[in-house]
Structure 1
Amino acid sequence: MFILTRNKLRKILISHGGITLTQQLARSTMPLYDNSEYQYMQISKVPTLHFQASLPRLPIPKLEDTCKRYLNAQKPLLNDKELQYTSSCISKFLANEGQSLQKQLIHNNDENPHTSYISKPWFDLYLRDRKPLPINYNPFLVFLPESDPKYDVQLVKATNLVVSSLRFFQSLKNNILEPEVFHMNPGKSDTELFRNVTRLIPPRFSWYGAYLFKAFPLDMSQYKNLFNTTRIPKLEKDVIFQDSSAKHLVVLRKGHFYAFDVLDANDSIRSPREIAACLKAVLEDDRPPNKHPVGVLTTSERDQWAQARSHLIETGNQEILKKIDSALFVMILDDEVIGTEKSKLLRSYLHADGTNRWFDKSFTLIVTKDSYSGINFEHSWGDGVAILRYFQDIKADVSKKPRFHPNEVDELAKESVNIERLQFSIDAKSESIINQQKAKYQDWINRLYVDHVIYEEFGKNQCKKLGVSPDAVMQLAFQLALYTLEDRVVPTYESCSTAAYKHGRTETIRPCTLETKEICIAMTRKQTKFSKTDIKRMILECSKVHNVLTKEAVMGQGFDRHLFALRNMSEKSGSTKPIIFQDPAYDALNYNILSTSTLSSPVVLAGGFGPVVSDGYGIAYMIQDERLGVVVTSYEGSRNANKYIQTLEHAFKSIHDVLST
């Protein structure tokens, strides 16, 4: 999910007439809104999609390499007899069906040079899954609060988030948003020289120019789905819908829907005061909570939601649904006060009670009564790189140059307001479906544990001083906590981006290794013969192994997506299932008890997602300079996130103690 995150906020320098934005403007309550400085967040010298045509294609690994890596991932999980059987299955696959499937995969890939071999089957995987979106798929991120509390008032914060989102949208739409580039050495490549040189190189060769600077442009094909986009439920397979002509925003409050244009007839962003006046009118609507909150239906199993939606259309709600589906995005204004309850905050952004949510939208901005703010996003259209870029850029924009100010609130009465109330027509059947789903969803979320830990004793800086990978330390801690509780290791998933390639999505790092297992045994059994010095040496070696696995995944040389594509091709051909996929060990490996993903950014207060299996843990983590943070979810009756968090904190202390030896 959250991968290849940048280590610091990128500097946003928007040149306009040769003067940077930060030099050009100071805060003002009387700006002009028809100029490019207001309309665009960035005016990049290098076009947004300049590198897209020359991005390298996602490689298809050699079949022999994939089989070897797959067997290595199974070794810590299987006993000798199971491992011997799995090894024989791999050998047979490698000698027989695997060769023909590999040739077919390569042929299909050659026939489709515009995309990657994983793109279509990965989209299908998401869109065909019938599980509900919240918890199962939709992650969340919460913004760090503003330094000035006056800008964290709900109306002020919501207005500035909307304006900055529109500024990002305008830059993206007009191809002047800075291209997403991973800089190996930002001091040498994140420079004006880099931009001046690469913009002059024709797009079909531009990637190679960036490579000479040791900078790697990332795929931006997903960005177009950030705005005006929603996932529409259909029987068997959902569809991603987009209407790029829409100019409006949809706002939810108390389960009621509102719509108003945020772009004018010329596709220019309306003034902050106009937008604020519309949001203020929504906040002042004194209607009680909606008795029939249609938004809760987006928490349903997808076929059930498809059927309920069809009935809504039959009963005269097609235009309202189209209004929601086509909106630039959805802004959710919650009346709930979070206060200092971290658990309440996490739950509010992960799932809430569903009555004031619309989980199908590409993303929803959520602002609470006491002005916590963040996003919940649908995952089928894209991955963490795109959403985190948007998240970081608008946070920087809101913090450095808010466009609406607290002292302007009293002047909003002068602004004209044109808001459309979207009133669904609800018959007895729809009312019954809504009531049933409210109760069903409440039962579901009541079974969910959500807990967190922030470990202040060490972070990225100290890990680096000790010569160990911070990510390897985190993953080892996850293994150690589980082993301490259950005296065993389990299948573990760590998400990694392949956005360095055209239409890349994600690859899996398998952090449960023989090396992590050996350390877990050494650190949990009192009769162990290993000293702290021995274990420290083992951790350093484990870190090296983890770094190799990470590098392979980033370079498209993991085994999970390759085997997934081969299995997908085999299933479509209707032939007998290859023996490697009949092996129970294959399904077991893909039943990820520990599902992990990182979201390391200085502007993220919290983030997370649900377990991917009913008896698993969903583990979202961040690695900051001087601390480590983790949010864990699980379901009652299987595993307990609260106990896991307590054990995880002890694992951090134990590892830190060993590394400090």
Structure 2
Amino acid sequence: MTSGQNTTFAYEDSLPRIPLPTLEESCARFLEWCAPLLTPDQLAATEAEVAAFLRPDGPARRLHAALQEYDAQEGVHSWLDTFWPYRYLGRRDRIALNANFIFLFQDTGQSQVERAAGLVASAVGYKLLLDDERIPPVVQRGRPLSMEQNKFLFSTTRIPGPVQDTVRAPYSEEWPGPSRARHILVFHRGNMFRLDVLGPDGRPYSPGDLAAGLHAIMKAGAAPAAPGTSVGHLTTKARAEWAASREALLTHPGNADALETVETALFCLCLEDLVPADDLAACDHLLHGDGGNRWFDKAVSLIVFADGQAGINVEHCGLDGTTILSFVDTILGSPAGEHPEAPAQGEPDFRPVEFALDDALRADVQAAADAFAAYGAATAATTVSFEDFGANHAKELGVSPDAFVQLAYQLAHRRAKGLVGATYESIATRQYRRGRTEAMRVVTPEVVRFVTAMDDPAADPATRRAAFLAAAAKHVARAKECQAGQAPEQHLWELQLIAQRRGAELGVTEPLALYETPGWTVMRDDYLSTSSAPSTNIRYFGFGATSEKCIGIAYVLLPQRFNIYLSTPRPVADAMFTFADRLREAIGELRQLLAATPPEPDAHGEMAGRAG
């Protein structure tokens, strides 16, 4: 292991702690954030409950005091340390499509096996550098960012639980230090194989050796798996149901060893038969392809199509988009995974991973496969691509690129659905110790005035420009507040979770009416859920919608281009397609509107909501 300030985790203990807002600050911001979405009566009802929530002898004071005490405890890195496991591991719906996210990589023109071998070699090379803490810390605008999430890239597996999931991972009390596993999981036609990627002495196999191993696996797995035998389908189930299925698996001899192989594997490699018809088909398949050729609980799954196109599917509980972007940018920057420390060793060892399945388990696997296929079919998606617009064009117009596109989303949504709806944007906070993301709510009074002015026949261009610039300035200011930890939602949410976990102990047994108010429920019921992943190495970023009326907006905003993947439940697909059409129009309309006025010299705010 190397030492010094350039080691991977050198700054972790010296990073500033994320500030814990006061109760008054969060309640004031909450009212400010929800107000533009509410009717006067809804706002009045919410204000009354906030006042009750803040009373000096109220339960909120005890909950906040408990959070302050927790934040001051030795070994606690952030007041959000408990929040994140509850947020991600406590969800009980399926994570496939609903929580996992994807990136579609730039194409290289390589064959499937050549691309796969290069990706595996590069990923293993990254792991070996990480083991020695030789991945340099990311520094942004002179500030180091937390690298803690890198510990969850390899050999990390989410384990389903009846009430809450757990995570099996290295760098933990149960598994100190880096993973010493030497194998990955390879899926082909629903068949699962263990493939060694490190030799017995820990040396990585060369891309050529790995290619030989992959060719052998594809030959061994040439016959598609029999129906009801691809156990990966079970990872598409709702979490408590999957937990019950996992317990049933463990009642059969040998399955514990198979699960051990799966759960300790460094990562998954999924070799697909499919040649995607276009980028949309590729993204859809990356996000919710054949569940039998996946293990959605693994932190990282590299997926390579039959024509060599490739991407990644990521389990979200320990990994945010910014960490995956750094990982992807590094492994895709390696020339075909050619590492000088990987001399030829010969074809690596591989063997099938097989589960003992009785009739009931086979029926369970098949039912999961059928249910997830129907769930995927009930999801609609589309892509929107701008080859003539990117971040540089927004800057030339004197506007923050992220503010520009977020306001375009608001205008398109108003025109597509007839209203301004609750909008979530993920804001990275990795400059703090164990920092992850903050929840930003995009709709402000300035946004409402802007979209109203754009469709007001009486508003002249100067009025519309002024409304746009005011909304953009407010967007940048709010994003900066979120980056500084000055946001209400996660604070208030954690107080609610403390009441659920420790209410009796703290004397908080009555219902907390704040969390039933229109302000809380309306603000958090997304019409748009948005997140950005800027990287020249990826074509598209994707994730699913968060509710029955939500459009998921995953966007890649680069200097010269802008690609978006939209997802929504199929019953409301028409509104999504209309939104896509209105968005194309809105981008052009706003460019024309702003081009008529000179850019402000101080309006180049770079406040982008990075991938969450």
TM-score by structure 1 length? 0.84
Shift of 1:178: 0.5
Matched, 1:611 2:545: yes
Which aligned pairs between 1:520-559 and structure 2 lie closer than 5 A? 520-526=451-457, 529-559=458-488
Superimposed CA distance per residue, residues 38-85 of structure 1 (whole angstroms, 9 cap, x where no aligned partner): xx9x99971111111111111001222222211111121111121122
226, 233, 253: which one aligns with 2:160: 233
Shift of 1:160: 0.8
Matched, 1:486 2:417: yes
In structure 2, what is the equivalent of residue 114 of structure 1? 76
Matched, 1:141 2:103: yes
316, 331, 338: which one aligns with 2:269: 331
Q: What SS does the corresponding residue of 1:111 show, helix, strand or coil?
A: coil
380, 388, 400: which one aligns with 2:317: 380
Shift of 1:403: 5.1
Which aligned pairs between 1:585-604 and structure 2 lie closer than 5 A? 585-604=519-538
138, 144, 155: which one aligns with 1:180: 138
Superimposed CA distance per residue, residues 488-509 of structure 1 (whole angstroms, 9 cap, x where no aligned partner): 1111100011111111221111
**How far, CA to CA, are the matches of 1:112 and 1:511 in structure 2?**
36
**How far, CA to CA, are the matches of 1:43 and 1:462 in structure 2?**
43
**How far, CA to CA, are the matches of 2:84 and 2:322 in structure 1?**
16
Shift of 1:596: 0.5
635, 638, 649: which one aligns with 2:584: 649
Alignment identity in percent?
30
**How far, CA to CA, are the matches of 1:398 and 1:140 in structure 2?**
22
Mind listing any 5+ residue stretches in structure 2 that lack a counterpart? 171-178, 597-612
In structure 2, what is the equivalent of residue 69 of structure 1? 29
**How far, CA to CA, are the matches of 2:533 and 2:347 in structure 1?**
41
In structure 2, what is the equivalent of residue 27 of structure 1? none
Alpha-carbon contact 1:161-1:398 (below 8 Å) kept: no
Superimposed CA distance per residue, residues 287-343 of structure 1 (whole angstroms, 9 cap, x where no aligned partner): 32111211111111111111111112212311111101100111111111114x222
Matched, 1:302 2:229: no
In structure 1, what is the equivalent of residue 175 of structure 2? none
Superimposed CA distance per residue, residues 384-435 of structure 1 (whole angstroms, 9 cap, x where no aligned partner): 2221111111011146x6459xxxxxxx9x9445211112222101111111
**How far, CA to CA, are the matches of 1:623 and 1:68 in structure 2?**
33
Alpha-carbon contact 1:570-1:577 (below 8 Å) kept: no
Alpha-carbon contact 1:44-1:177 (below 8 Å) kept: no
Which aligned pairs between 1:7-46 and structure 2 lie closer than 5 A? 46=6
Superimposed CA distance per residue, residues 197-239 of structure 1 (whole angstroms, 9 cap, x where no aligned partner): xxxxxxxxxxxxxxxxxx1111122211110110011211111
Matched, 1:129 2:88: no
Shift of 1:457: 3.4
In structure 2, what is the equivalent of residue 4 of structure 1? none
Q: What SS does the corresponding residue of 1:558 show, helix, strand or coil?
A: coil
Letter paired with 2:27: C
- My pick for the range that moved more, 485-494 or 108-117, is 108-117
Alpha-carbon contact 2:125-2:339 (below 8 Å) kept: no
* Count of residue pairs the alignment pairs up: 575
In structure 2, what is the equivalent of residue 289 of structure 1? 224
CA spacing shift, 1:223–1:92, aligned 2, 3 Å: same
Superimposed CA distance per residue, residues 223-261 of structure 1 (whole angstroms, 9 cap, x where no aligned partner): 111101100112111110125221111100000011122
Alpha-carbon contact 2:210-2:347 (below 8 Å) kept: no
**How far, CA to CA, are the matches of 1:237 and 1:80 in structure 2?**
39
Q: What SS does the corresponding residue of 1:630 show, helix, strand or coil?
A: strand
383, 387, 402: which one aligns with 1:452: 383
In structure 1, what is the equivalent of residue 176 of structure 2? none
Shift of 1:129: 1.1
Letter paired with 2:23: L
Superimposed CA distance per residue, residues 104-145 of structure 1 (whole angstroms, 9 cap, x where no aligned partner): 221221114531111212212211211111111000001112
96, 113, 127: which one aligns with 1:155: 113
In structure 1, what is the equivalent of residue 195 of structure 2? 260
In structure 2, what is the equivalent of residue 167 of structure 1? 125
Which aligned pairs between 1:540-579 and structure 2 lie closer than 5 A? 540-572=469-501, 573-574=503-504, 575=508, 576-579=510-513
**How far, CA to CA, are the matches of 2:84 and 2:5 in structure 1?**
34
Shift of 1:453: 0.5
Q: What SS does the corresponding residue of 2:293 show, helix, strand or coil?
A: coil
- My pick for the range that moved more, 386-395 or 235-244, is 235-244
**How far, CA to CA, are the matches of 2:408 and 2:433 in structure 1?**
34
Q: What SS does the corresponding residue of 2:529 show, helix, strand or coil?
A: strand
Matched, 1:82 2:16: no
Shift of 1:454: 0.8
TM-score by structure 2 length? 0.90
